[in-house]
Amino acid sequence: MRLSQLPWTTLKETPAEAEVVSHQLLLRAGLIRRLTSGIFTWMPLGLRVLRRVEQVVREEMDRAGALEVLMPAVQPAELWQETGRWERYGDLLLRIRDRHERDYCFGPTHEEIITDLARRELRSYRQLPVNYYQIQTKFRDEIRPRFGLMRAREFVMKDAYSFHLDQDSLDTTYAAMAQAYTRIFRRLGLRFRTVDADSGEIGGSRSQEFHVLADSGEDAIAYCDADGYAANVEMAPTFPPAAPRPAPAAALARVATPDSRTIEEVSALLRTAPARCLKTLLVEAADGGLVALALRGDHNLNAVKAERLPQVARPLAMATAERIRAVTGVPTGFAGPVGLDVPLIVDHAAAALADFVAGANAEGFHHTGVNWGRDAPEPAVADLRNVVPGDPSPRGGALEIARGIEVGHIFQLGDKYSQAMHATVLDQDGRERIMTMGCYGIGVSRIVAAAIEQNHDAQGIVWPAPMSPFDVTLLVLNPKNSDAVTAAAGALYLQLQEAGLEVLLDDRDARPGVKFAEADLLGIPHRLVIGERGLKEGLVEYRRRRDGAEEKVASSDAVAFLVRQLAATDPG
C-alpha cells in the first residue's frame, strides 16, 4: 500500500476521551474512530490488524475441526424467551422492534440461535460431535463502556458451540479447544496465561479463561510458576492457616473509637496492624435478613466465594447504611462478633486470630483482646477472601498475583440450553437424547487492544509481527528531491511484495522527521529507509521497531535480509 494514496491522519495530542494506552494509541495512530459511546469504526490500517487476528483464529479453529458458519446478528425474542433469558439477561440485551411490533434483540451471544439450529439440523448421534463457530459482531449494552476497544458495546467475537452425545465427547472437544486457544495466542505473539475460572452467568461446569498479561488488566490472576497453577483470583481457594490459633492472652476491653469506622482508622487509632483487626461486613441474606461476613482487616472479600454460601443472597449485595441501622440498631463501622445478633460466617484466616480488635456493636466503640470461644461463639468458618501474594497454591507452591485482560473463555455448558430448548438426537438404541454442549469465545477486537496494552513504548505501538498491519514499512526520504531515490524505492517496494511481504510504502511528500515519528507510532515491526545519502553507497537502512536495532544493508540484499528478519521474529 502506498501511503500517498491513503488519507491517514495521526494525532500528536492524546484525545481527552481516551484513558488507557491502547485506546489512546489506536486513536492517535488513526486505526479506529469513535462513532458514539463504545462503538467504533475500523479505519483502513486498523482493519488490517483486526483481519490478521481473525485469520489466525480462523486457521486454528479450522485446524481443530470446527466448522465456520455466520449466524444473524438480529435475533427473535421467542428463542430468548424459550430459555428464559429474555427476562434474565436484563438491560445488557439491546432490544429492538420491527414494523410489526415484533421483538428482537441484537445478539450479545448466540447460544439460543445455535441451539435452535442444532435441534433442526442434527437428528442422529452419528452426526456428533459437531463444533460450529463464527466470527461476528456482537452487541452488549454495557452499563459503562470504557477503555476503547477493551470494553466496547459493539465488538467482534469468535464464538464456537459444540454438541455431543456424552460427557466424554465434550471433554475431548473442550481439550481440543483449549489447545487451539493456546496455539492462537502463541501464534499472535502474546504473553498470556490460561487460568481456571468461574463459569458465571452463562452457566455450566468446567471453565477456563485466557488472559493476556498486562498491568492495566481488569482481572487479577493468581499463579505459581513452580507448580503450574493458575486461576482467576475469583476462583483461587485459600486454606486454613497451618499454625494453630494462639491461646487468649489479653482481656476483653471496650474502647471508645468515636470517629473510627474503617479498618485504617481503627488500626491507626489503636496502633494495631490491620491484620489484627476483624473486618465485619454485613450483606443481604438469602432469607431476607442480613448475614455478617468477617475477614482479617488486611484481607478482601471475594464476591464469588461469598455468593456460593447458601445463607447469602445472590447476587451479593452489601447492606445499605439504613438496613444496617434498622437491623442491628447501630450505624455502619461498629459491627463485631461479640453480642452480634445476625448470623456470622468467618474466613479461615480471621478465625485463627486471637486477642484481636473488632467492632463492639455500639456506636463509637470497638473491643480489643477479643477471642473466639471466650468472648464470641466459635464461628462458622468458610473461605471468603481473595488470595494475596505468598498464599499457598493448591498444588503446593506459593502464589503470585498478576494483572490480565480476558481475551478468551471456554466453558462446558452441559445441557443447560439443549434441555431448555429440547435439542435432541437419537442415540444408537433409537432413544431421544438431550445433547451436551460446550461453548468457546474469543474477543477478537479486544485482542487488538490487549496486544497494544502489552506491547507499546513512549513512541507508540510495537505490534507483535503476526498482527501488524504490514510486515514492513519502507520510508522514502525526500522523494521529490531525487528521481533515483524514488525509482529505487519503487523497485524495492515491488521486490518485497514479490517476495510475499505486505509492504507499506511511505512515499508521501512529507519531512523525514514526520515519517519516522509516524512509523514509530504505527508500530510496524520492521522498517527500511531509503534516502539519497545511503543510496549513493548502495545501502538501505534497516531498523527493528521493538528494540531499535539498526543495520545498513546493501540494497541488492535488502529483500533477502528482510525475509530473514521476518523468519526470526515470527513465531507463527
Partner RNA sequence: CGGGGUGUAGCUCAGCUUGGUAGAGCGCUUGCUUCGGGAGCAAGAGGUCGCAGGUUCGAAUCCUGUCACCCCGACCA
* Binding footprint of RNA on the chain (CB under 7 A): 9-17, 19, 28, 34, 36-38, 92, 140, 142-147, 151-153, 155, 157, 200-202, 209, 218-219, 303, 315, 406-409, 441-443, 445-446, 459, 477-478, 480-481, 511-514, 516-521, 529, 531-534, 541, 543
Q: Indicate the residue among 204 and 464 with the shorter CB distance to RNA.
A: 204
Q: How far is the CB of 376 from RNA (least distance, A)?
A: 29
Whether 417 contacts 115, CB under 8 Å: yes
Which is closer to RNA, CB of 199 or CB of 497? 199
> How many Cα neighbours within 13 Å face the side chain of 9?
5
Contacts of 498 (CB under 8 A, 6+ apart): none
| Residue 461 C-beta: closest distance to RNA, Å | 11
- Least distance CB 10 / RNA (angstroms): 4
Q: What cell numbers appear for 176 in the block?
A: 481440543
Residue number, 272 or 386, with CB nearest to RNA: 386
Minimum distance of RNA from residue 283's CB (angstroms): 12
279: left (phi over 0), alpha (psi -120 to 50) or beta: beta
Inter-residue long-range contacts of 77-84, CB under 8 Å, 24+ positions, other chains counted: 77/102, 77/103, 77/104, 77/105, 79/112, 79/113, 79/116, 79/421, 80/105, 80/112, 82/112, 82/420, 82/421, 83/111, 83/112, 83/417, 83/420, 83/421, 84/420
Minimum distance between the CB of residue 213 and RNA, rounded to whole angstroms? 14
Q: Name the phi and psi angles at 179, rounded to 5.
A: -70, -40
Cell 452425545 -> residue: 165
Minimum distance between the CB of residue 542 and RNA, rounded to whole angstroms?
Answer: 10
Q: Which is nearer to RNA, 290 or 477 (CB)?
A: 477
- Nearer Cβ to RNA, position 148 or 464? 148
The CB-of-486 to RNA minimum distance in angstroms stands at 13
Nearer to RNA, 107 or 531 (CB): 531
User: Among residues 202 and 281, whose Cβ is nearest to RNA?
Assistant: 202
Q: How far is the CB of 85 from RNA (least distance, A)?
A: 12
- The least distance separating RNA from the CB of residue 153, rounded to whole angstroms, comes to 7
> With respect to RNA, which residue has the nearer C-beta, 136 or 424?
136
C-beta of residue 356 within 8 angstroms of C-beta of residue 252: no
Give the gyration radius of the chain's Cα atoms: 29
- Nearest-approach distance from CB 143 to RNA, in angstroms: 4
- Tally the residues of the chain: 572
DSSP string for residues in 170-185: HHHHHHHHHHHHHHHH
Task: State how far Cα 307 lies from the chain centre.
Answer: 22
CB 277 within 8 A of CB 364: no
- Give kind and range of the element (H or E) at residue 380: strand 380-382
**What whole-number distance in Å separates Cα of residue 297 and Cα of residue 333?**
13
SS3 at position 413: strand
Report, in Å, the least distance between residue 90 CB and RNA: 9
Nearer to RNA, 14 or 172 (CB): 14
Strand bridging mode 278-284 / 290-296: antiparallel
> What is the DSSP code string of 270-331?
TT--GGGBEEEEEEEBTTSSEEEEEEETT--B-HHHHHHSTTB-SS--BPPHHHHHHHHSS-
Residue 127 or residue 481: which is nearer to RNA going by CB? 481
> Distance (Å, rounded) from C-alpha 298 to C-alpha 213?
26
Nearer to RNA, 340 or 407 (CB): 407
